[in-house]
Structure 1
Amino acid sequence: MMEGMTGEETRTTTSTTERTPAAAAPRDPGGTPRRAWATRLVVVGIVLSALNLRPAITSLGALLEEVRDGLGMSGGVAGLLTSVPPLCFAVFGVMAPRLARRFGPAAVVCAGMAAITTGLLIRPYAGGTAGFLAASALALMGIAVSNVLMPVIVKRWFPDRVGSMTGLYSMALAAGTSVAAAATVPLTDALGGSWQSGLTVWAALAAAAVLPWLPLVRERGGASTPATGTAAEATGTAADAAERAGERPTPAERTQPPALRITRSRTAWALAVFFGLQATAAYITMGWMAQIFRDAGVPAGTAGLLLAVTMVMGVPLAFVIPRLATRLPNQGPIVLALGVCGLAGYAGLYFAPAGGAWAWALLLGVSNCAFPLALTMVGMRARSGAGVAQLSAFAQSTGYLISIPGPLLVGVLYESSGGWGVPIALMAALMVPQMVVGVLAGRDRTVEEEAAA
C-alpha cells in the first residue's frame, strides 16, 4: 500500500535500526518478542485514538450557532473558542514527551482518552461560557498529548511499517473528523434537538478508546519502555534514552551525537511556519465553514455535510499525498497545487457560497490535505529518528502557536464587518505565504546539514 514511503522510512529508521538490531521485531526488556495480542491491542488503540482526535472540534463547528445562542456568546468569544484547540495543542503538546518518559506513552494516551471523555461529558452542562471553555480545554489537553505520542508509539511498535501505520492513523483521524461533522446535526435531531445531547454523544467514542490501552498500561516493559526511549531521543542522546529505560547503553549509543540545534535550520523554520499556516486554515475551516454556509442560506444539516465532505477528503489523500511526496525530490509542486485549490475554494465562498457549495467544499478539502504533506516532509527533512522527533516537536509546537490568532481574528472580523467578505479575504491572503514557505520547506535537504553548517 505504501510503497512510495520507502524513501521516508529509510531516512527515519536507519539510525534506530543501527542502534537496535531487534528493531524490526519489537521485544520487551527481557529480550522476548512482544506478544501478538499486545500488538493487536496497539493497532486497535491507535485507530480508536485517532478517531477521537477531532470530533471534539468538528462536532462543535456543526452546532456553533446553537452553542452561541445557548450560552450568549459574541462573535469574538466564539472566535476565541475556535482558537482554543491550537492553543491547547501548543501548550499541552510540549508536555507529552516528559510525561511519556515518566509514565510511559501507553499510560499517557490512556489518560488522554479519559480526559477527552470527561471533557466532552462536562462541557455541554458546564453552566456558562467559562465552564464550556474549561471543559473544552480538558478534552483538548487529552487530544494534544495523544496527538504527539501517536507517532512515537507507531515508531516503536512498528518500526518496519511506519508508512503504512501512519497512513492508517491518518485515515482514521480524517474519518473521525468527517463523521463528527456529518453526523452531529442528525444525531442532535434524533436526540430531541438539544445541542447539549448532540455534543455529549461523542464522549461514548472517546470512552471506547480508553479500553485498549488499559492492559498496555500494566505492560510497562512491553509498551512503554521502548517508546520512552524514543521520547527521550527528542531531548538527549541515545545513551540518555537507554539510561532512562533502565538499560546499559552500548558503545555505539555512547558515541551518538547530542541533540541538534534545530533552530539553526532554515528548513525547520520554513516547515514550522508552513505547519502553522495550514493549521490556521484547518481550524478556521473546522470552526467556521459550516456557519459560512448557514449564513448563506444553506440548511444546517446540509452545512454539516459540506463540512464533512471537506474533512473526508483527507481519507484517500492521506495515502496518495505521502506516496507522491516521497517520490519527488522537491515537494514544492504539491504545495503549490494544494494552495491553488485553496485559493479557488475561497474565491467561490466569496462570490457564490451557496451556489457552488459542494465544489468549494471539495476544493477546500483538497487544500486542507497540506496536513499529511507537512507530516511527510517532517520525515523527509531529517536523516535520523532522533532528528525526526526533534523536527516534529519543533514544527508542531511552533506551528500551533502561529495558528492561534487566526480563528479568533476571523470571529472578530465577522462581528465587526457584519459579514463574511473580509474574513474570507483574510483566509485567501494567508494562503499566499503558506505556499511560499511550503516551497522552501519542500527543498531536498536535511535539518542536520543546515544545523551543522
Structure 2
Amino acid sequence: MSSRSERRGSEFRDRAVGLGAALLIGLNLRPAITSVAALLEPTRAAFDLAPVQLNLLATLPVIAFGISAPVGPLLARRLGVTRALIWTMVALAGSLALRVVVPGGMLPGTFLAGVSIMAAGTLLPQYLKSLRAGGLWIGLSSMSFSAGAALGAGLAVPLSTAVGGPAVALGLWAVPALTAAGAMVGVALRSEAPPPPSSRMALPRSARPTVALITAMFGLQAMLFFAVASWLPRILGDRGVDAQTAGWLLALTSVAGLVPTLVAPILARRRRVLRLFGPGLGIVMLAAFVWLASGDESYIAITVVLGAVQSATFGLSLALIVMLAADEASAGLLSAIAQGVGYAFAGAGSLLVGVLHDLTGGWTASLVFMIVCAAALALVVGFVIRCRPVDLQAPSEVPALPRA
C-alpha cells in the first residue's frame, strides 16, 4: 500500500513540475513581441530602421508564425515533445541575443524568435494533452501568455530607461527563455520521456470542416490580438499619448486579460454556457473597436475591455484545440494547422492594418477592418463550439493475408 501511495505521490509531483514548466514557457511566448511594440520608435532610431523595415519589424514575428508551422510537429516526431520544447526555448534565447548583439541582426533575429515562439506554441497543446491537463491548467497556461505580454509591454520603457537604450532592454528577455529551457530539462530528468509518435498523421475528409473552423477562429483572434499589440501604442501616440503611457496601456490589455484567459477554458467545458459565452466574446470585441474608433479618450476603459475579451478568446481557442483533438498526436497536428495557417492570416492582417494607415494617413480604415474581423470571429466561434473531437491519426495498415 505504501509503495503504491509513494508511486502516486511521485507521479503527482512529476506532473506538477511538468505543468509548472509549461507555465514558464507560456511566459516567454509574448515579451519578444510586446516589448518591441512598446519601443517601436526608440528601436527605429537606435537601429536606423527605414519606415518599411519598421512596419516589417512590427509584423515579422507573426509572419514567421505562419511560415514555420511544421517546425513544432517535426521536432516532436524526431525528439519527443519535452526535448523539442527545450530546444525551442534555447533557440528563442539565441535569437533574442542575435537581434541586438549582431549588427543588422534585428530583423533576422526577430524572424528566428517568431519561428521559436511558433514551434513552442504548437507544441504546448500536445504537451498539455500528454499531461491530461484539465480546464484549470489549460487556463493557467493561456494566462501565462497574457502575463508574459504584460511584462514585455510594461517593463519595456522602464528597462530601456534604466539600461540606457532599447538594445539591452530587448536582449534581456533571453534570460527568462533560458530559465524555461532549464525547467524543461528538469522535467526531462525527472521522468522518462514518452517516445516520439510513430503513427502517420492524416486529415480525413470528415475532420476537415472542424479543422477549417478551428483554424479560422484561431486566425481571426490572433490577427486582432497582434493588430492591437503591434499598433495600439502608435494609434495612441498619434492621438497625443506619450510613449510611456501608451506602453503602460498596452500592458494593461494583458493585465486585464489574466482572469478572463483563466476562466475561458473552464467555461469551455460547460456547453450551455459556451453557446452564449463563445460568440459573445466576438461581439464585445467588435463593440470595443467601435469605441476606439469613435475618438473617445477613455483609453483605460477601452484597453481593459479589449484586453479582457481578446485574452479570453485566446484561452478559449487553446482549450478548444485540446478538447477537439481525440488524442495527443491529433492535438499536435490540429495545433500546428490551426496556429500555422491562423498566424499566416494574422501576419497578413496585422501588416494590412499598418498599410491601410500609410495609404489613408489615418487609422479609420484600419479600425473598420478590425471591426469586420471581430464580427466574423463571433460567427465562426458559434460554429466551432458545435464541433465534435477529431482523430487525425491514419489507421494502421493491416497486411493482406497470403492467398492459399
Q: TM-score surpassing 0.5?
A: yes
- Would you say the 8 A contact 1:84–1:137 is kept in 2? yes
Q: 1:379 to 1:106 in 2, by over 3 A?
A: closer
- Equivalent pairs counted in the alignment come to 387
- Would you say the 8 A contact 1:329–1:444 is kept in 2? no
Equivalent position SS for 1:352? coil
Aligned residue in 1 for 2:137:
165
Q: 1:150 to 1:223 in 2, by over 3 A?
A: farther
Q: 1:444 to 1:42 in 2, by over 3 A?
A: closer
Aligned residue in 1 for 2:118:
144
Residues 115-130 of structure 1 aligned to structure 2 (within 5 Å): 115-128=91-104
Equivalent position SS for 1:326? coil
Name the CA distance, whole Å, in 1 between partners of 2:34 and 2:204: 36
Deviation for aligned residue 1:268: 2.2
Aligned residue in 1 for 2:147:
175
CA RMSD of aligned residues (A): 2.8
Could you tell me which amino acid in structure 1 is paired with residue 168 of structure 2? S
Aligned residue in 2 for 1:58:
34
Name the CA distance, whole Å, in 2 between partners of 1:374 and 1:68: 34
Aligned residue in 2 for 1:207:
178
Aligned residue in 2 for 1:107:
83
- Would you say the 8 A contact 2:69–2:341 is kept in 1? no
Q: Aligned to 2:194, which of 225, 250, 262?
A: 225
Aligned residue in 2 for 1:245:
none
Q: Aligned to 1:393, which of 315, 333, 336?
A: 336
Name the CA distance, whole Å, in 2 between partners of 1:434 and 1:200: 35
Q: Aligned to 2:349, which of 406, 410, 421?
A: 406
Deviations 1:141-199 (A, max 9, x none): 2212211222222222x32x43333222222221111111111111111222x111221
Q: 1:148 to 1:264 in 2, by over 3 A?
A: closer
Structure 1 stretches of at least 4 aligned residues deviating more than 6 Å after TM superposition? 32-37
Q: 1:271 to 1:283 in 2, by over 3 A?
A: same
Q: 1:382 to 1:40 in 2, by over 3 A?
A: closer
Deviation for aligned residue 1:315: 1.5
* TM value normalised by structure 1: 0.78
Deviation for aligned residue 1:387: 4.2
Q: 1:213 to 1:388 in 2, by over 3 A?
A: closer
Aligned residue in 2 for 1:363:
305
Gaps of 5+ in 2: 395-404
- Would you say the 8 A contact 1:76–1:415 is kept in 2? no
Q: 1:419 to 1:264 in 2, by over 3 A?
A: same
Name the CA distance, whole Å, in 2 between partners of 1:357 and 1:57: 21
Equivalent position SS for 1:212? helix
Q: 1:417 to 1:68 in 2, by over 3 A?
A: farther
Deviations 1:41-63 (A, max 9, x none): 43442222111111000101100
Name the CA distance, whole Å, in 1 between partners of 2:389 and 2:23: 31
Deviations 1:406-430 (A, max 9, x none): 1111121222222222211211122
- Would you say the 8 A contact 1:414–1:420 is kept in 2? yes
Gaps of 5+ in 1: 1-24, 237-258
- Would you say the 8 A contact 1:116–1:142 is kept in 2? yes
- Would you say the 8 A contact 2:135–2:269 is kept in 1? no
Equivalent position SS for 1:93? coil
- Would you say the 8 A contact 1:104–1:224 is kept in 2? yes
Deviations 1:318-342 (A, max 9, x none): 2211222221257342233212222
